[in-house]
Chain A
């Protein structure tokens, strides 16, 4: 492991320690923030369960498969908010506080991922993982399916993170604000809780190429459930890599053209 990566990881761990110390210093409040994050995830579980109780559910998707999809979406959306509290970043950009991070010798990716932790969202991540474990324990997957799903999921998480970074910086550049990105991300999270197939061809293409959040939840679950063949998996992985490359170029361009709100 190169010293650069080791240093970055060490710095990340340090920022996490201080963030958590700050979070739990108000124990009573932190418990409620944590519980609210769990409750939000659990209500999605209740919603899916009720749908399958009163109907046959979404075509082509059994209850447990739907649970897999919603749990992965919860992990992804909560995970992104945990690493990047969108509202705080937008506020920081607007108020000029963001500039203080630029004086440090860190990559822009590191600044975004380490400096604005949405601590309470960890409750959603944990609840999502528990729901996923429950659904996965009732289903049987091949080892290759698991590996493929994990590979797409890892790439999908990267796509989701860089996509949100692009949204935040793009919104700041165009509107000099970005509070709405938080709302938008919440809506996109709701869209990806359900199979993209229900939105028709246009909707599926939109959530794959223009708003590529489908890579983080829908395609991994499809791969896990064996709904995509080996060729399809390779195509998705290659597409994901291409999208990561494209999004990172856009983000770096936006970041370089950043001008302070206070300057």
Chain B
């Protein structure tokens, strides 16, 4: 693998992102709006309920939780729409004729976006939380959080690949991509912390891979789960990584045999 080629591709993508400065500022502002809305909603709920904790979350923890979710959402790469675009436009043929691996072109693009969004949105939000929400991270918790973010990014990339590969079999999967996004947000704890869901649903989500895409890192950062619980949970996350890796390989193999770009 000629690593330098992919590094150059990543650099070019970052330069392109930097070119649209206004877009960058607006994106950052909008990313922060969702947790601010949640802060207002949950403040009203806690004040009305007159309780200090709801399902192990204090108001400060739940507010922190949604800000961490915003940071993670910003860092998560969006690959499937890109694959759909490549197939629909026929651009995939142009990439495949180059001495490059399509998968690694996508991964290097994802890496560039992750790096860019982590530096511009993710880290600033997390630093602000440590300073203003007084989140005290021990070294072991910080290490577990970093590991959980790594698992989250790998799982998200592979899930996006799996969904994106469906574009090789159908002309337009935009609706399906939207559905998968909503499902991942909901089952991943992006809308509501998973331990707040009814016990039956919560039990199901605790074995699914989606929890690692948002809930687990956010719960570790806020201290809603102990380090021991986090370690046990991450073992399951690594197992899911293995399963997804096999699925991705199988899907890519099937997709390559079925390659048929539309070019609209």
Interface residues of A (CB under 8 A from B): 26, 28-36, 39-40, 43, 46-47, 50-51, 53-59, 120, 175, 177, 179-180, 183-184, 187, 190-191, 194, 198-199, 203
Which residues of chain A are near B26, meaning CB under 8 Å?
Answer: 180, 183
CA of A140 to CA of B223, assembled, Å: 44
Shortest beta-carbon distance from B189 to chain A in Å: 12
Pair A32/B55 contact, Cβ less than 8 Å: no
Q: Does A35 contact B179, Cβ atoms closer than 8 Å? A: yes
Other A-B pairs beyond A31-B175, A54-B196, A180-B26, 5, CB < 8 Å: A26-B171, A36-B179, A50-B198, A55-B49, A187-B34
Is A36 touching B175 in the complex (CB atoms < 8 A)? Answer: yes
**B46 nearest CB across to chain A (Å):** 8
Chain B: CB-nearest residue to A191? B37
Q: How far is the CA of A30 from the CA of B178 in the complex (A)?
A: 12
A51 to B192, CA, bound (A): 9
What separation, in Å, do the CA atoms of A120 and B178 have in the docked complex? Answer: 11
Q: Is the CB of B192 within 8 A of A50?
A: yes
Chain A residue numbers with a CB within 8 Å of B196 are 50, 54
Closest CB in chain A relative to B128 CB, distance in Å: 19
List the 6 closest pairs (A to B, CB-CB), nearest first: A32-B175, A33-B175, A36-B178, A59-B48, A198-B44, A29-B172
The residues of A that contact B23 with a CB separation of less than 8 Å are 177, 179-180
Question: Chain B residues in contact with chain A, CB under 8 A?
Answer: 22-23, 26-27, 30, 33-34, 37, 40-41, 43-49, 51, 54-55, 170-176, 178-179, 182-183, 185-186, 191-192, 196-198
A47-B192 CB under 8 A given contacts A36-B182, A180-B23: yes
Of A26, A46, A58, the residue contacting B186 (CB under 8 A) is A46
Q: Is the interface of A mostly helix, strand, loop or mixed?
A: helix
In the assembled complex, 29 residue pairs joining A and B whose CB atoms fall closer than 8 Å, in A order, are: A26-B171, A30-B175, A32-B175, A35-B175, A36-B179, A39-B179, A40-B182, A43-B185, A47-B191, A50-B196, A50-B197, A51-B45, A51-B192, A55-B49, A55-B51, A55-B54, A57-B45, A57-B48, A58-B44, A59-B47, A179-B23, A180-B23, A180-B26, A180-B27, A180-B30, A187-B30, A194-B37, A194-B41, A203-B40
Complex Cα gap A53–B45 (Å): 12
With known contacts A46-B186, A190-B34, A29–B41 Cβ distance under 8 A: no
Q: How far is the CB of A177 from chain B (nearest CB, A)?
A: 8
Q: Which residues of B contact A58 (CB under 8 A)?
A: 41, 44-45, 48
B54 contacts across to A, CB distance below 8 A: 54-55
Question: A194 to B45, alpha carbons, bound, how many Å?
Answer: 11
Interface centre among A29, A32, A34, A199 (most CB of B within 10 A): A32
Q: Chain B residues with Cβ under 8 A from A43's Cβ?
A: 182, 185-186, 191
For the complex formed, measure the closest distance between the CB of A126 and the CB atoms of chain B, giving whole angstroms: 16
Q: How many angstroms between the C-alpha atoms of A106 and B94 in the bound complex?
A: 42
Inter-chain contact A53/B179, CB cutoff 8 Å: no
**Cβ contacts under 8 Å, A32 to chain B:** 173-176, 178-179
Q: A58-B41, A199-B40 are in contact. Are A26 and B172 (CB under 8 A)?
A: yes
- State in angstroms the CA–CA spacing of A31 and B172 once bound together: 11
Closest to B185 in A: A43
Residue of B nearest to A34 (CB): B175
Instruction: For the complex formed, measure the closest distance between the CB of B264 and the CB atoms of chain A, giving whole angstroms.
Output: 11
Give A58 to B198 CA distance when docked, in angstroms.
19
Contact present for B179 and A190 (CB under 8 Å): no
- How far does the Cβ of A180 sit from chain B's closest Cβ, in whole Å? 5
B175 touches A120 (CB 8 A): yes
**Chain A residues near B197 (CB-CB < 8 A):** 50
Q: Which of A29, A55, A177, A199 has the most B CB atoms < 10 Å from its CB?
A: A55
